[in-house]
């Protein structure tokens, strides 16, 4: 079985936030009102994590890195779920089953990366964009926790197509929306077990590091340190 992982090269990343936009559109992530956003109820699966601001006023450069679900090998969130709504699948992706979720938010509290978001309200969209939802992804109801799934619906469709054509899944058949859209090609994605894949080579680079690795979560999303 493949073990999917992601490596984000911070040398190439320009913090343009194309991945954030693509993720939001691909996965029907709810757009919240400014009032709710000020209460900290913004919903992002892929979010820019601002580390620091460099320079003085007119020439300020925010240093931000994209942060999605780390799809940990030892996920802390699955250990606290009372209803097994979140668990690690055989391909290493941490699944979130929305109809199973009771919205207790234990997993949110236990996630050291704070990547999980809660649907505080019923999704209300402007009439103009009502039918613009991605039909491959469900619109989550109120009271459910959601998170990045590495665009698992794309994996299902790619796997089906490969099987129908009697071939194996090749590299590049399945990529999440953020990887596809990145203009700087800063995100590598693929099978970590395949030693010839770009992502596997990048994850063993001397610049590679993971966020909060000391917790022992073994994140499958790794970063390549920026060297100036």
**Which positions lie near another protein, rule CB under 8 A?**
84, 87, 89-90, 93, 95, 97-100, 135-139, 149, 152-153, 156-157, 160-161, 163-164
Is the Cβ of residue 61 or residue 163 nearer to another protein in the bound state? 163
* Burial of 187 from C-beta contacts in 10 A (0-12 / 13-18 / 19+): buried
Is the Cβ of residue 10 or residue 155 nearer to another protein in the bound state? 155
Q: How near is the Cβ of 186 to another protein at its closest, in Å?
A: 27
Q: How near is the Cβ of 93 to another protein at its closest, in Å?
A: 8
Q: Which two tokens stand for residue 19?
A: 């991945």
Kindly provide the residue ranges of all beta strands, DSSP E only, lying in the chain, ordered along the sequence: 4-9, 47-54, 61-67, 86-88, 94-96, 117-118, 145-146, 187-191, 208-209, 221-224
Q: CA nearest 116: which of 153, 69, 55, 76?
A: 69
Is the Cβ of residue 166 or residue 185 nearer to another protein in the bound state? 166
Q: Distance between CA atoms of 31 and 52, rounded to whole angstroms? A: 26
Local structure of residue 90 (DSSP, 8 states): T
Is the Cβ of residue 38 or residue 156 nearer to another protein in the bound state? 156
Q: How near is the Cβ of 5 to another protein at its closest, in Å?
A: 18
* Half-sphere exposure for 19 (CA within 13 Å, toward CB): 30
Q: How near is the Cβ of 164 to another protein at its closest, in Å?
A: 5
Q: How near is the Cβ of 218 to another protein at its closest, in Å?
A: 20
Is the Cβ of residue 99 or residue 126 nearer to another protein in the bound state? 99
The strand order across the sheet containing 221-224 reads 187-191, 4-9, 221-224, 208-209
């Amino acid at each position: 079985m493949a073990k999917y992982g992601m490596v984000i090269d911070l040398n190439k990343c320009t913090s343009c936030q194309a991945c954030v936009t693509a993720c939001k559109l691909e996965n029907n992530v709810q757009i919240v009102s400014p009032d709710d956003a000020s209460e900290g109820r913004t919903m992002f699966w892929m979010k820019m994590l601002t580390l620091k601001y460099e320079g003085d006023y007119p020439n300020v450069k925010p240093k931000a890195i994209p942060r999605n679900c780390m799809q940990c090998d030892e996920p802390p969130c699955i250990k606290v779920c009372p209803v097994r709504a979140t668990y690690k699948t055989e391909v290493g992706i941490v699944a979130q089953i929305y109809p199973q979720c009771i919205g207790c938010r234990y997993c949110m509290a236990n996630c050291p990366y704070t990547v999980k978001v809660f649907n505080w309200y019923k999704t209300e969209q402007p009439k103009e964009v009502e039918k613009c939802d991605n039909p491959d992804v469900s619109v989550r109801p109120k009271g459910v926790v959601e998170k990045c799934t590495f665009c698992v619906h794309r994996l299902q469709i790619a796997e089906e197509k490969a099987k129908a054509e009697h071939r194996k899944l090749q590299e590049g058949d399945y990529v999440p929306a953020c990887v596809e859209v990145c203009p700087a090609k800063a995100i590598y994605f693929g099978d970590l077990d395949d030693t010839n894949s770009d992502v596997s080579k990048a994850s063993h680079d001397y610049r590679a590091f993971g966020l909060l690795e000391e917790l022992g979560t073994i994140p499958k999303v790794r970063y390549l340190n920026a060297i100036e």
